[in-house]
Homo-oligomer: A and B are copies of this chain.
Amino acid sequence: MKPNFTLRLRVFNLNCWGIPYLSKHRADRVKRLGDFLNMESFDLALLEEVWSEQDFQDLRQKLLPTYPAAHYFRSGIIGSGLCVFSKHPIQEFTQHVFTLNGYPYMIHHGDWFCGKAVGLLVLHLSGLVLNAYVTHLHAEYNRQKDVYLAHRVAQAWELAQFIHHTSKKADMVLLCGDLNLHPKDLGCRLLKEWTGLCDAYLETRDFKGSEEGCTMVPENCYVNRRELEQFPLGIRIDYVLYKAVSGLYISCKTFKTTTGHDPHSGTPLSDHEALMATLCVRHSPPQHTSSPSHGPAERSALISVLREAWTELDQGMAQALWWATITGYVIGLGLLLLALLCALAVGGGIREVVILLWTPSVGLVLGAGAVYLFHVQEAKGLCRARAELQHVLGRAREAQDLSPESQPALQPGRQEGDRAEEQ
């Protein structure tokens, strides 16, 4: 790599809102998205909510001359909805499906059926290794009473851990996607603190687009304005995040979003806004550390967010165990009822009642059994994430205790981390 080397990387991200039969003007929007991507010729285009594999194949066909490499990440029943188009050859790819992703009985929300995941692409650009990740976390349906909060925090943690463990030898890390997290939400802070990723919108000096970088705005005709009532400017839940890992420095030269309209004409490309970032990769100047610094301030921020996440996962676990207990009782009741019906049938009692109640009772036992098993598995998943978090928390605290600048005032309650390796 030459001393005055500069690598310019143009990245595109969009949650495409591509639900077959449900999303408005889907075919037209996919067509216009293809035209736009061809015209702009980005290095990488990372897309979410491409639920129809046919849409991916159509796009692939159209984009082949400009983006010779492409991949669709398959998972779950419906699919992850994630795909990527690249101007450069994809050296390697793999994916990680999140352990927790909502509830199968919340059919109207549907997230569970998608198999939400994070996809990883490894690219070699000018002798540098770029690990590019694309993801989509569980949606937020009710911000006031968010029953999926623990799952989303667990997903943010799994995402952070996947990036942490798979990017150790990468020179650059890029994460794009719909995190369904506002910038100050716990999951977003957890992800950034643990991975050291920088937010392109916050880092750039040249931003053009929607106010405050929002990626769902009321100007967009596909957005349900009632859902944005509390946020008159909109919300920012889609991100371009990046970091340099070794001896390099990345800066975000320009960052653009669409503003609720098509970049050229027609309706918007999606109900989300598209993100376009130009990243510049250079040798790390002396005043910049290439990896996230681990001074006392960073450590205490990490400790604080880890504790918050630990508490959230702990509450989620308690909730999961509560549901498992309740359904356990329902199973017991159902079995009692079945025994009673058996006794009635044998005794020649009211036969019509037995016939009528037998099948609902079996249904009750089987249904409650399935829900019970689901919540047992949910508790195990949350417990696993909590154990990993607890271990990192313990080590961060040890580092804080050992550092000369350690501030005892920053370590109030130690109950969660005391048994850091006892998981």
A272: Cβ under 8 A from any B Cβ: no
For chain A, the bracket of interface size reads 35 or more
Q: Which of B76, B166, B169, B384 contacts A73 (CB 8 A)?
A: B384
* Residues in B whose Cβ lies below 8 Å from that of A392: 92
* Residues in B whose Cβ lies below 8 Å from that of A421: 68-71, 89-90
A30: Cβ under 8 A from any B Cβ: no
The smallest C-beta distance from A113 to any residue of chain B, in angstroms, reads 8
CA–CA, A362 and B36, complex, Å: 48
The smallest C-beta distance from A107 to any residue of chain B, in angstroms, reads 11
A355: Cβ under 8 A from any B Cβ: yes
A383: Cβ under 8 A from any B Cβ: yes
A72: Cβ under 8 A from any B Cβ: yes
Residues 370-392 of A, flagged 1 when their CB comes within 8 A of B and 0 if not, give 00010011001101100110011
CA–CA, A385 and B91, complex, Å: 16
* Residues in B whose Cβ lies below 8 Å from that of A75: 99, 380-381, 384
Check B74 against A383 for contact (C-beta < 8 Å).
yes
Q: Which of B74, B120, B356, B381 contacts A384 (CB 8 A)?
A: B74
* Residues in B whose Cβ lies below 8 Å from that of A79: 380
A95: Cβ under 8 A from any B Cβ: yes
CA–CA, A277 and B281, complex, Å: 45
The smallest C-beta distance from A245 to any residue of chain B, in angstroms, reads 10
Contacts A70-B422, A165-B120 given; does A388 touch B115 at CB 8 Å: no
* Residues in B whose Cβ lies below 8 Å from that of A360: 359
Check B71 against A423 for contact (C-beta < 8 Å).
yes
CA–CA, A79 and B70, complex, Å: 36
* Residues in B whose Cβ lies below 8 Å from that of A383: 74
Residues 55-77 of A, flagged 1 when their CB comes within 8 A of B and 0 if not, give 00000100000001111111111
Known: A74-B380, A113-B373. 18 other contacts (CB 8 A): A60-B422, A71-B387, A74-B383, A75-B384, A77-B377, A77-B380, A90-B421, A93-B391, A94-B161, A94-B165, A94-B388, A97-B99, A115-B377, A165-B165, A166-B166, A168-B168, A359-B360, A359-B363
Q: Which residues of A contact B (CB under 8 A)?
A: 60, 68-77, 79, 89-97, 99, 113, 115, 120, 161, 165-166, 168-169, 355-356, 359-360, 363, 373, 376-377, 380-381, 383-384, 387-388, 391-392, 395, 421-423
Q: Which 5 A-B pairs have the closest CB atoms?
A: A359-B359, A168-B169, A74-B384, A165-B166, A74-B380
A-B contact pairs, 23 of them (CB 8 A): A60-B422, A70-B421, A71-B391, A73-B384, A74-B380, A74-B384, A74-B387, A75-B384, A77-B373, A77-B377, A92-B391, A93-B388, A93-B391, A94-B161, A113-B373, A165-B166, A166-B166, A168-B168, A169-B169, A355-B355, A355-B356, A359-B359, A359-B363
